[in-house]
Structure 1
Amino acid sequence: MLLLLVTVLPFATTVKAAPDKSYAIQAILPDNQVNKGESYFDLKVTPNKEQSLKVLIANTGSKPITVTAEVNNAYTADSGVIGYDKYNTKLYKAKLPSLTSLVDGKRKQTVKLATGQNKTVEFKVKSPSSEYSGIILGGVTTTASVSPTKSKNINIKNQVR
């Protein structure tokens, strides 16, 4: 049995930084979803088969926004929690496949959304060629740039994740 567990952050909720730069995301769950009550991808996959991971991104703010969605491997953060926001993470057992190694095509996509507009981003993932027991853990992380903070000697680039 192969399980593919992909977390979509921030779990189908609205992300807010400023009233004009808000967005919401939601995983579009496929038929092979194991637990249909969850808001993240928890998939039972067949070896050597392609799977689409679709994420709906909605601009809920009052201005156009650019959102980047990317597939990343899971890792243990310094605080001990699972993180999904880094691409180049060193995996404990390199012999096992990582989620990013299974992505067919771009693992990072950027969409521009007008006010009130929705778009679906799609990632193609091909399951490992042979069956094994375990879970491939990773996530689809989204980020959006918000208005930069500028002062005389300070330049901060703000992002909503």
Structure 2
Amino acid sequence: MKRKYRLMIWGLVLFMSVFVNVKVADAANNAGFEVIPVASKQQLNQKVTYFDLKLAPNQATTVTVNVKSTSQTPITVETSVAKATTNTNGVVEYKAFKQNKSWGLPANIEKVVTTDQNKIQLQPGEVKPVAYQIKMPKAAFDGELVGGLNFVKKVTDDKVKTNSSMGVKNQYAYTIAMVLHGQQELTKNKMSLGKITTRQINNRNVISIPLNNQTAAFLNKVTTKVTIKKQGQAKAVYTQKTSDGQMAPNSVYELPVRIGETAFRPGRYTAQVVVTSKQQHWQFTKDFTITKKQARHYNQKAVIKEDDSWLGLSLIITGIVLLLILIIVIYWRKQRRIKLLESELAASKRDSNQ
């Protein structure tokens, strides 16, 4: 009996392993290609799958990535280099996003790391090496210079038209992170708070709190607590907490305070911001203004849930008014009836006296 159970368990494990392998293979086939980084002699951490390099100032080297086609038809893969940034969700991005900002980079990794193989044409099953030339800045720096090597399969015009008619555009991509270490690691970060502004995300009003990581080092396990009050008042108008965020070196985290489906109210406000990253802590207080023009501009485009509290209040007031009218009518009719009875009694007395 025990042997039977063992066979059943091993059979289940074997089935799951095959199932997982099929899923991985399906993902690669859907993408149409794979990327395999070739180990570099300058690799600092041999256990990671991305490029983690330690180079001297002005040193030059080359790293290689093998691009393999898993497609049944010829494909073209486009490659580019992008600096690491932080998005509005507190996640590090290794792709190029114009809305993500940087702050005081020691160098632009998009110029430090280059390639002349921006387009790779592959036949089915073909493998081609893509070489990236790295030329470190002449001036020594401390910390890390971080970016990503991006690979995107070029979509044919027919597929774009087919997908766009359905409102969907599938695009398969891979990213390999690259970390270039400077002279020494930095363990203490400097942070500042930028100008607080209003904007929208997915047609929802948000108050943008820009946190500037001014140091060439990652910030991990980032938590934030934001309290916004009307200037001179103690009651909080908006509060928000976030946790488990990450900031790229020398990046700006445009922290959005999401106010939901509510309208901006013009006025002067004070924001109190508390940021924590492991053992590091920062506190900021800054005033900002939401003008009538800004509020009107965003409220016209925002998804706003109508405030129906006024409806309940108006119903209560209407009910009270109707009740008062009813009381007045009843009182008037009662008084009228009393006067009629009095007049009838007076008339009967006159008749009896005659």
Which category describes the TM-score, using the shorter chain as reference length? 0.7 to 0.9
The 1:152/1:41 distance shift into structure 2, 3 A limit, reads: closer
| TM-score normalized by the length of structure 2 | 0.37
SS at match of 1:136: strand
Is 1:133 the counterpart of 2:139? The answer is no
Report the equivalent of 2:153: 144
Counterpart selection for 1:71 from 77, 81, 88: 81
The 1:93/1:152 distance shift into structure 2, 3 A limit, reads: closer
Q: Is the 8 A contact 2:66 2:127 kept in 1?
A: yes
Task: Report Cα offsets for 1:103-154 as digits up to 9, x if no partner.
Answer: 3564x71101000000111111100112221100001011013433527955
Q: Is the 8 A contact 1:66 1:111 kept in 2?
A: yes
**Cα distance between partner residues in 1 of 2:120 and 2:44:** 29
RMSD: 2.7
Give the drift of 1:98: 1.9
Deviates further, 82-91 or 117-126 = 82-91
Which runs of 5 or more residues in structure 2 are unaligned?
A: 1-23, 174-354
Higher RCO, 1 or 2 (CA under 8 Å, sep at least 6)?
1
Is 1:90 the counterpart of 2:101? The answer is yes
Give the drift of 1:156: 4.9
| Higher Rg of the two aligned structures | 2
Q: Is the 8 A contact 1:14 1:24 kept in 2?
A: no
Moved beyond 6 Å, runs of 4+: none
SS at match of 1:100: helix
Q: Is the 8 A contact 1:72 1:84 kept in 2?
A: yes
Q: Which amino acid aligns with 1:133?
A: D
Report the equivalent of 1:3: none
Q: Is the 8 A contact 2:68 2:127 kept in 1?
A: yes
Report the equivalent of 1:117: 126
Higher percent of residues as strand: 1
Higher percent of residues as helix: 2
| TM-score normalized by the length of structure 1 | 0.77
**Cα distance between partner residues in 2 of 1:141 and 1:71:** 6
What are the equivalent positions in structure 2 for 1:1-161 lying under 5 Å apart? 16=27, 19=30, 21-86=31-96, 88=98, 90-94=101-105, 96-104=106-114, 106=116, 109-146=118-155, 147-148=159-160, 150=162, 156-161=168-173
**Cα distance between partner residues in 2 of 1:15 and 1:92:** 40
How high is the sequence identity, in percent, across the aligned residues?
A: 25
**Cα distance between partner residues in 2 of 1:24 and 1:99:** 24
Q: Which amino acid aligns with 1:39?
A: T
Q: Is the 8 A contact 2:163 2:170 kept in 1?
A: no
Q: Is the 8 A contact 1:23 1:59 kept in 2?
A: yes
Q: Which amino acid aligns with 1:29?
A: A
Q: Is the 8 A contact 1:24 1:60 kept in 2?
A: yes
Report the equivalent of 2:245: none
Deviates further, 140-149 or 127-136 = 140-149
Task: Report Cα offsets for 1:33-89 as digits up to 9, x if no partner.
Answer: 001111100000011011212111000121111101111100001221111110655
